[in-house]
Amino acid sequence: MTKPNLLELPLGAQLVYLAEGGANIIYRIVLTSSNPHNGSKRDTPPGVSSLLQNPIDSFVVPAQLKGKLLRLRKETKFSISYQENVRNFDQTIRPLFNPDELIDQELVCLPKGLVSRCNEQLRAAELSGRRPKHRRGVYLCATEPFGLLVTDMTSFGNPGAVLAELKPKWLLQSPTAPVNARRCRTCALREMKNHELHRGGKAEVRSFCPLDITSDKFDNVLRATRFVKGCKDHGRLARVLYRNSTVQKLLTHQKAKLQVGLHGPAAQSREKSLAMTIRDCTMYIKMPRDESLPVEVRFGDLDLKTGVGGKAQYWLDLEKHLTSEGWYMGIKNNAHPSECMLQGPRTPYQLLM
């Protein structure tokens, strides 16, 4: 079988661990600044630098990979190959948005032994306590021959940029919620989960109501921004989000794929998978220090979700619980008042500063 004509990591490159989620780990691809070849071919294969080290200033990014990060797949029960992942992305997700509205994905061939070296570093980081506790014990897939080059939305090479990250989730109410609901789907689910946290003596999670993000009232958008990760300039972020064309496009796609409650397409159909995928993506926002420069707003975490492994039944059971147990109606009290726009008048954001 011939090898597809794909990019390969430059020889001599090093990987610097940045972050990880449940299914993937993100690395920066760098060369040491003392490398006289500055990206030209060497005899040494790509390696892995120490995990979680901060002095990235001593590195330079290969010219052909500027603006890119490397994503590697973990070995999990329901993960799919990166080739299938990219095929789904190209056929299903890419047509929905402009290129500058997406965290791009591009296959890259991995040198032999790179994943093994990465896993050795992960185990070493666990022994030294540097790997997050809730991520330990799961490692990269040794049989995956590809990585993904993804758009870099960090401030690396752009000092002073303000970064924000949020999950828009359900920008519309669930079609099977009660007609007189006082909680949107996201706020209802958060209150259900917070109820369990409260009963277990754990701190509740607070966040914004997604309906505020697409509101025609600027004050509602401003209210939502105080919960957005990584951004203290709430006013600037609210101005970016208010009637933002990229956000409105996601809303339009969610409206077109509205049958996501107890009815609609079969739970394991491609239509249902796409509908749930666009309700669980992440929005990344990069605002340059110079406010006259353009702001980047991109969606990521758009791997097509599937209903395999009981996930489809979980979606249905969750909707039944939210309805039958009264979470859509907001009948149970938690430690904090709800942020949901559906509950009616709320204390103005300015008084909560």
Question: What pLDDT, on a 0 to 100 scale, did the predictor assign at position 243?
Answer: 97
Cα torsion at 35, 4, 85, 297 (round to 10°)?
50
**Domain annotation for the chain: domains and CATH numbers:** 7-151 (3.30.200), 162-352 (no CATH)
pLDDT, averaged per 10 consecutive residues of the chain (353 residues), comes to 63 86 92 50 50 51 83 90 95 96 95 92 93 94 95 88 94 94 96 91 92 96 92 93 97 92 75 91 94 94 80 85 93 79 77 45
Neighbours of 195 (CB within 10 A): 17
Spatial CB neighbours of 6, under 8 Å, sequence gap ≥ 6: 107, 108, 109, 146
Question: What pLDDT, on a 0 to 100 scale, did the predictor assign at position 309?
Answer: 66
Question: What pLDDT, on a 0 to 100 scale, did the predictor assign at position 259?
Answer: 81
Q: What is the pLDDT of residues 79-130, one digit of tens each?
A: 889 999 999 999 999 999 999 999 999 999 998 889 999 999 999 999 999 9
Neighbours of 163 (CB within 10 A): 16
Q: Which one, of 184, 58, 44, 63, lies nearest residue 111 by Cα?
A: 44
- What does pTM read for this prediction? 0.87
CB 74 within 8 A of CB 138: yes
Q: What is the pLDDT of residues 286-318, one digit of tens each?
A: 999 998 999 999 999 999 887 776 777 888 889
Task: State the Cα–Cα distance between residues 38 and 63, nearest whole angstrom.
Answer: 9
Task: State the Cα–Cα distance between residues 101 and 250, nearest whole angstrom.
Answer: 10
How far out from the chain centre does Cα 44 lie? 34
